[in-house]
């Protein structure tokens, strides 16, 4: 076996572990977040898939963006995303993250999440029901298996483009830290 083949084998073994143990950081911004409690408790029992909530971005594998994002929150979201350790995945919830949803003409809300950070899979609906959320996670696992969940790689490759979009909308992506000024 050549070195590339060995590397690929290792990566596949790693993918098996990564898709069976997805720890979520729930960035609960909008109303879609209400679908998460039934997904986690006895009705749908997300832990069966090896998923569980995590308290900090360093430990999490999946970033759940649940709903609309105001410009202020987006800044924090980008910070949070960049702190996560790779490989990392993003799931966008509801029409708000896809095209702005019912807030599409608001001056304070962004319309397409994909312009700012790479999204691996979307869960459609306003709000998506819990089955759709669970299906979204199964899709994510399938994408990891077929090596298509490569958002974190795309973020490296197209960093200039993402950075430009972030700056265009936000002016600056520095987080103003009121506590330490």
Residues 6+ apart with CB under 8 A from 32: 66, 67, 93, 94, 96, 126, 127, 128
| Stretch near other proteins under the rule CB under 8 A, chosen from 10-18, 89-97, 101-109, 117-125 | 10-18
If you search the block for the tokens 């800044």, which residue do you land on? Answer: 75
The binder of ligand SF4 chosen from 27, 68, 81, 137 (CB under 6 A)? 68
Q: Is 31 in the site for ligand SF4 (CB under 6 A)?
A: yes
In the list other proteins, ligand SF4, none, the entry touching 38 (Cβ below 5 to 8 angstroms by class) is none
- CA 115, 120, 125: angle at the middle one, nearest 5? 85
The binder of other proteins chosen from 33, 63, 77, 84 (CB under 8 A)? 84
In the list other proteins, ligand SF4, none, the entry touching 126 (Cβ below 5 to 8 angstroms by class) is ligand SF4
In the list ligand SF4, other proteins, none, the entry touching 21 (Cβ below 5 to 8 angstroms by class) is other proteins
Summarize as ranges the residues that interact with ligand SF4 (CB under 6 A). 30-32, 67-68, 94-96, 101-102, 126-127
């Amino acid at each position: 076996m050549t070195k590339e083949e060995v590397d690929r084998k290792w990566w596949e073994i790693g993918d098996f572990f990564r898709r069976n143990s997805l720890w979520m950081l729930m960035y609960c911004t909008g109303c879609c977040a209400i679908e998460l409690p039934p997904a986690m408790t006895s009705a749908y029992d997300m832990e069966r898939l090896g998923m569980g909530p995590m308290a900090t971005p360093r430990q999490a594998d999946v970033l759940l963006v649940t709903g609309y994002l105001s410009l202020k929150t987006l800044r924090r979201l980008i910070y949070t995303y960049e702190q996560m350790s790779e490989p990392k995945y993003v799931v966008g919830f509801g029409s708000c993250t896809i095209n702005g949803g019912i807030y599409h003409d608001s001056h304070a809300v962004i319309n397409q999440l994909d312009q700012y950070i790479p999204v691996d899979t979307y869960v459609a609906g306003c709000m998506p029901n819990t089955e759709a959320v669970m299906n979204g996670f199964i899709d994510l696992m399938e994408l990891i298996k077929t090596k298509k969940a490569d958002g974190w790689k795309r973020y490296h490759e197209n960093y200039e483009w993402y950075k430009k979009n972030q700056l265009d909308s936000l002016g600056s992506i520095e987080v103003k830290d009121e506590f330490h000024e």
